[in-house]
Structure 1
Amino acid sequence: MINLNKLLKTLLIVSIVIIIFISNTPVASERVIPQKYYQVVVVGAEPEGIAAAVSAARNGLRTLLIDRRDKVGGLYTLGWLNSLDLNYKSKNTKEIVNKGIFGEFHRKVGGGSAFDILQVQKVFNDMLKNSGVDVVLTVSDIKPIVKDNKIKGISFGKNGINYLVNTSIVIDSTQNADIAAASGVPYKFGWEDFGFPGEVAAATLVFSVKNVDWNKVVSYLQKDGNPYTGGNNTSAWGYEVMYKTPIKDPDIQMRGINAGRQKDGTVVINALQIFNVNPLDENEKKRAIERAKRELPGIIDFMRKNAPGFENAELAGVAQELYIRESRHIIGEYTLTADDIFENRNQEIAVAFGSYPIDLQARKKGMTGIALCGTNPYGIPFGVMVPKNIDGLLIASHCASYDVIAHGSARTVPVGMALGQAAGVASKLAIEKNVTFREIARSNKLINELRTRLEKQGVDLKPIKVDNPEKNSWAYPYIKSLRNKAMLSKGYSNDYRLEDTATIYTFSGVFFLINSHSQIKIDTTILKNYDKNYPVKKTDYIEMLNKILSSNYRNWEELLKEGLVDEKIYTRIIKSNDYLTNSEAYALIDCLVKYIQNR
């Protein structure tokens, strides 16, 4: 007769052995993490993703943060960008607009314009641990689970095992919006809208040097006569001479130095630009790092000879990853535009603020970056994080829904961390109200509720009054047209100087931007016989125009007939004095651009 109890015990032992064997054997099949359901999964342990995860967890949501790398912090800890692109309320104050979680982080790393990389690693780790975020690193093959255009989960590999995490909310804070792209979210890449497919802002390999005389660096930059250079105890910026560094690689150049001092005395340098790197290709990025490293001995030798304070500098190390400024621009419920920034819009509906200058970095060797404005506070709507087509997904990173020009300002990490905090709070709101992120983005009532919750959690969303005197100018439509195409800058001073007399410098500056940011190419050698301060007469402009177009126009009536000026400009020019003002110059150039584009 069979002993039933003995048989059951035997079967139980065999079952346990089988379970243990299966649990420790790498298999291809997916399985749910035991006893874990996460209300929010954040993919990407960049600073923005950390802010999102901390925010979600502090709002009582079971939160998982995953990343393919072996440490958190991304751009700050692996890319070594240790200079903070702070967003101030105005150019006359040091009060930042990004408070809340970013403000907390900023205080913990010293409250300055740069930080110590080892310290920031500890701060991030502590914030995640203290908030109760579960963190899983060194994962692979991260994929979204999407059904009926809704996020249902995330799968990933770890130690040879594939895991499936059930969740209805994913926050994508990867460097390139990889989860959004894999989910089917529409996006644009780099400068394709401007006729430059495949082109993106320069990548940078950050490196560090030792044996730097920091006091000499700061003293030199404070006294070099350049209003745009300077330094303090932790940061320094300047040395435009570095643009002349001899470099062999056709896709690498140095620019002026942004330097951050570390606690061990080394100095981290953000200045080594690499072009034509596909940010979506990991192997190409690795090759770019190796190419850049080969140039470093010559770069440091040039620094020793030309950058006071760096006479004894030696290479101390290089970042593990590239600083990637730009890749995908996802298409969201709302797209932040250049006009939003120039006109300081969206402040009453904002879930985050930005104010950093629109800083367009070079895309090709030989180009220089350009600032289209100075400090300029504006609001960022929740809809920039809500992608078209897919529900349950938010994008909290520099890949949010910004047009190319707006991206030049809104891409900064403090703004991204502010959006990350908003993403965490919005996740709580969506779960509580049983609504989608799309419904939140389209509801004034829900946006107001989201803003109220953010303000209770330390975020400052009070509107910031800004004057835009150019809006009262007769030439404002022409100004808007040019600057939305990155063809007009009002500089760090935020002043177009509209009623000043136009000079050759006025025209050369706009022509430079046209050549840099469009397919139009204007031969600027036509200006070489003029002094840059030469005041431009109306007759000079017709002569200039004829050289540009290889034409033979004699008067303004002919320009009107040809469509090179419109009735509004023609009437004003005929009545004005002999010399053009800047406002008239901008209007004329805008008409010229449209004429060339349409012919």
Structure 2
Amino acid sequence: MKKWIVVMMIAFFILTTEGCDDWKVSSSLDGDDLGQAGHPARIVVSSNPKELGYQVVVVGAEPEGIAAAVSAARNGLKTVLVDPRDRVGGLYTVGWLNTLDMNYRSKKTREVVNKGIFSEFQRRLGGDVAFNIPTAQRAFEDMLKEAGVKVLLEASDLKPIMEGNNVRGIAFKRKGRAYRALGQVVIDSTQDADIAAMCGAPYKFGREDLGFPGEIGATTLVFSVKNVNWRRVVSYLQSDKNPYSGATDRSAWGYEVMFKAPTKDPHIQIRGLNAGRQKDGTVVINALQIFHLNPLDKEEKREAVERAKAELPGIIEFMRKNAPGFENVELAGVAPELYVRESRHIEGEYTLTAEDVFENRNQGMAVAFGSYPIDLQAREKGQTGSALNGTNPYGIPLGVMVPKKVDGLLVASRSASYDTVAHGSARTVPVGMALGQAAGVAAKLAIEKNVSFRKMAHSYEMIQEIRAILTKQGVDLTPIKVENPEIKSWAYPYIQRLRDKAMLSKEYDNDYRLNEAATTKTFRRMFILINYNSPLKINMHALDGFDLNQPIAGRDYIQILNRILGSDYGDYKELLEEKIIDETTYRQVRKRLEFLTNAEAYALVDGLVRYMEKGKG
């Protein structure tokens, strides 16, 4: 009887105190009742929302969000990280991307530009480029716990709490209870900038600025296989004479033969393999591409996963027959989530552009650096990706994280304010983690100085203060000098216009080879990029009869152009009169009876593109 009375008294105490002191920020919020990383949460059922008081609320346990939360907490701010999944790590632990897209200072060095929290994370993984997925999850959990970040997983119905245009926190449900996490700063690190969009922040979607509204680059279903002969994989890829193949003890890239693997679905293909070996002997493969998918539609994503899984038996069979080292391979599993590279592009106080990347701009005002090659994934089946440059360091200003029309919010994710071409480099996780670290520092200053992020983004003094704090915390923001000899060329304006639209590549060695003879290959590469990355269509048969490495003379180009336009122009004077070329180009090529240079080829194709864009081609 006494035991029953004691139980009743405890129950009465819980019921009477629930909704009283717990509505305030108190020591009870620091215990296990809300679920520290790795600890189960106490389930409380109540119709009244429980208010939680924090200084920084981070939404999205992606690597970028983890970096933001750790940074904010290390800077002395009471921080909570909220995510709907059952684990932290996002793309790395749920999407199974297990290879780091490293951003180096130059193609000659392995020194990264993303020092700080990202480098710390990589060290915890063992310092390699490929990593073991469970190791990554433990590393993230440890970093969050050590920093004192409150982690609330399995949250649902996340919505921003707004006061006018100001974000005041996040409302959500978790384990049978409604919560309101109030904060002075909210950081949106969801993959798709979901919170920013719900707040009314303007954005573009996918390849909209390249003329493809509603379309995005390839989405990938990562899968794993077992029974791989890794020694044979390394031996084959290190000796296949393909400069784009290679392998180490942990990772491998190559097997372009996989492009030929048949798939029945009209919107699914497999490309060359990017593979990473796990500690349990399985190999994780990033290669199975899905096209024409809306990543904001949950049901569409679910259906896409099932369609992709249906293709895997045939792909595995093809792999056994055509990929040395995979002769006995079997499917081991598929990632719980799709690897989505692109969706929203938030419109921020600053938009990182293609020219910012190509010209290595913003280094003196950067709060983060990037340098990954611009890698535009294919848009549809049958296409390969578009690599527009090689390693190329550039700075990223704070303004890319500050959405227009919304205050109190930073967007630290791949959906920050980048144009499509710049996004091809800046979307990589190491860059996002660097931005996350900067977001934590910016939050500290915004709270201490009672200043908006919008004002901060346009203040030279405050940006320098952020940079100074980041430097003290191990981030290297020293400007990196880069030589861009093409800037001095007469053809530079044409180069800029083409590459800004993803129609010209300087290849991985960052050399336009301006003074070398233009060959059929020069034009073929540009024509493919135009067809891939713009609504314009150039008939590739225009190059029929020309050997791939054949230098192209001035009269040859007129023949090629006539095939494209269905015209009958006889000389460059006529092209000038029809405004297919301009006066500067005409002066360069009018006497060119011998081979064109690459510089002249770029100017000629730029003129053709502009002519076709006017609807005259």
TM-score by length of 1: 0.96
The corresponding residue for 2:253 is 237
Q: Which residue of 1 aligns with 2:391?
A: 375
The amino acid of 1:501's aligned partner reads: A
SS in 1 for 2:599: helix
Corresponding residue number in structure 2 for 1:414: 430
Partner Cα distance (2:344, 2:176) in 1: 30
Q: 2:570 aligns to what? A: 554
Q: Return the match for 2:220 from 197, 204, 207.
A: 204
Instruction: Give the unaligned 5+ runs of structure 2.
Output: 1-9, 23-42
| Map of 1:30 onto structure 2 | 49
- C-alpha offsets along residues 439-470 of structure 1, whole Å, 9 cap, x if unaligned? 11000000000000000000010011111011
1:173-184 maps to which residues of 2 (within 5 A)? Answer: 173-184=189-200
Q: Distance in 1 between matches of 2:407 and 2:15?
A: 42
Give the residue type in structure 2 aligned to 1:138.
E
**Which deviates the most, 288-297 or 587-596?**
288-297
For the pair 1:459 / 2:459, whether they are aligned, the reply is: no
For the residue of structure 2 that corresponds to 1:223, the secondary structure is: coil
What residue number does 2:357 align with?
Answer: 341
SS of 2:590's equivalent in the other structure is helix
Once residues 187 and 436 of structure 2 are traced to their aligned partners in structure 1, the CA distance between those partners, rounded to angstroms, is: 8
Tell me, in whole angstroms, the C-alpha distance in 2 between the residues paired with 1:390 and 1:17. Answer: 39
- Structure 2 match to 1:391: 407
Q: Could you tell me how far 1:195 is from its partner in structure 2?
A: 1.7
Q: State the match for 1:360 in structure 2.
A: 376
* CA–CA separation in structure 2 for the residues paired with 1:518 and 1:579: 28
Q: Name the counterpart of 2:522.
A: 506
Match of residue 95, structure 1, among 111, 114, 121 = 111
Q: CA deviation at 1:160?
A: 2.4
Q: 2:239 matched to which residue of 1?
A: 223
Cα shift readout 1:157-201 (whole Å, capped 9, x = no counterpart):
112221112212100000110000000000000011222111101
Paired with 1:555 and 1:241, the residues of 2 have a C-alpha distance of 43
Q: Is 1:158 the counterpart of 2:174 in the alignment?
A: yes
1:30 alignment partner AA: P
- Output aligned runs, 1:53-68, within 5 Å: 53-68=69-84
Question: Which among 267, 285, 296 is matched to residue 280 of structure 1?
Answer: 296
Aligned to 1:425: 441
Deviation at 1:19, TM superposition (A): 5.7
Letter in 1 for 2:58: V
2:185 is the alignment partner of 1:169? yes
Task: Report the Cα distance in structure 2 between the residues aligned to 1:141 and 1:128, rounded to whole angstroms.
Answer: 23
Deviation, 1:255, is: 0.3
What SS is found at the alignment partner of 2:378? coil
Q: Which of 251, 275, 283 pairs up with 1:259?
A: 275
Bigger mean CA offset, 572-581 vs 22-31: 22-31
Letter paired with 1:410: A
Q: Deviations over 1:191-244 (max 9, x none)?
A: 112221111011111111111111110110010000111010111000000000
Instruction: Give the C-alpha shift of residue 18 in structure 1.
Output: 5.6
Q: Which amino acid in 2 is paired with 1:394? A: L
Call closer, same or farther: CA 1:571–1:163 in 2, change over 3 Å: same
Q: Which residue of 1 aligns with 2:31?
A: none
SS in 1 for 2:285: strand
Is 1:269 aligned to residue 285 of structure 2?
yes
SS of the equivalent of 2:238 reads: helix
- Which letter does structure 1 place at the counterpart of 2:51? V
Distance 1:527 1:543 in 2: 9
SS of corresponding position for 2:548:
coil
Contact 2:554 2:592 survives alignment (8 Å):
no
Output the CA distance in 2 between the equivalents of 1:133 and 1:507.
54
The CA deviation at 1:585 is: 0.6
Aligned length: 587
User: Distance in 2 between the 1:202 and 1:548 partners?
Assistant: 29
Match of 1:130 in 2: 146
1:248 aligns with 2:264: yes
SS at match of 1:91: coil
Worse overlay, 440-449 or 552-561: 552-561
Identity %: 65
State the alpha-carbon separation in 2 of the partners of residues 84 and 46 from structure 1: 14
AA paired with 1:126?
D
Output the amino acid matched with 2:411: I
1:507 maps to a residue whose letter is: F
Q: Distance in 1 between matches of 2:209 and 2:19?
A: 54
SS of 1:489's equivalent in the other structure is coil
- Name 1:3's counterpart in structure 2: none
Distance 1:544 1:48 in 2: 48
SS in 2 for 1:571: helix
Contact 2:68/2:433, CA 8 A, preserved across alignment: yes
Determine helix, strand or coil for the equivalent of 2:575. helix
Structure 1 residue runs of 5 or longer lacking an equivalent are 1-11
> Partner residue of 1:5?
none
Aligned match of 1:40:
56
1:25 CA displacement: 7.2
CA-to-partner distance for each residue in 1:375-409, whole Å, 9 max, x for gaps? 00111111100110111100000000000000000
- Residue 571 of structure 1: CA displacement? 1.2
Query: Is 2:573–2:590's contact at 8 Å kept on the other side of the alignment?
Result: no
Structure 1 residue 140 corresponds to structure 2 residue 156: yes
State the 1:482 CA deviation: 0.3
Question: Whole-Å Cα distance in 2 between the matches of residues 254 and 31 of structure 1?
Answer: 48
Does 2:583 match 1:567?
yes
Instruction: Specify the code of the residue in structure 2 equivalent to 1:31.
Output: K
- After TM superposition, the structure 1 = structure 2 runs for residues 467-506 of structure 1, keeping only pairs within 5 Å, are 467-506=483-522
Amino acid at match of 1:96: V
* Alpha-carbon spacing, 1:20–1:490, altered in 2? closer, same or farther (3 Å): closer
Q: Aligned partners of 1:157, 1:174: CA distance in 2, in Å?
A: 17
Q: Which position in structure 1 is the counterpart of 2:345?
A: 329
Distance 1:315 1:576 in 2: 58
CA distance in structure 2 between the aligned counterparts of 1:369 and 1:49, rounded to whole angstroms? 28
SS at match of 2:542: helix
Q: Cα distance 1:378–1:16, how it changes in 2: closer, same or farther (>3 A)? A: closer
Q: Give the AA of the match of 1:172.
A: D
How far off is 1:575 after superposition? 4.0
For 1:108 and 1:164, how far apart are their aligned partners in 2? 34
1:440-459 matches, cutoff 5 A:
440-459=456-475
With the length of structure 2 as denominator, give the TM-score of the two structures: 0.93
- In 1, the alpha carbon distance for the partners of 2:478 and 2:84 equals 38
- CA distance in 1: counterparts of 2:60 and 2:13, whole angstroms: 38
Moved over 6 A (4+): 12-16, 21-25
Q: Distance in 1 between matches of 2:569 and 2:138?
A: 68
Instruction: State the alpha-carbon separation in 2 of the partners of residues 244 and 107 from structure 1.
Output: 38
Q: Which moved more, 1:20-29 or 1:317-326?
A: 20-29
- Of 433-442 and 550-559, more deviation after overlay is shown by 550-559
Q: Secondary structure at the match of 1:557?
A: helix
Q: What one-letter code is carried by the residue in structure 1 that aligns with 2:56?
A: V
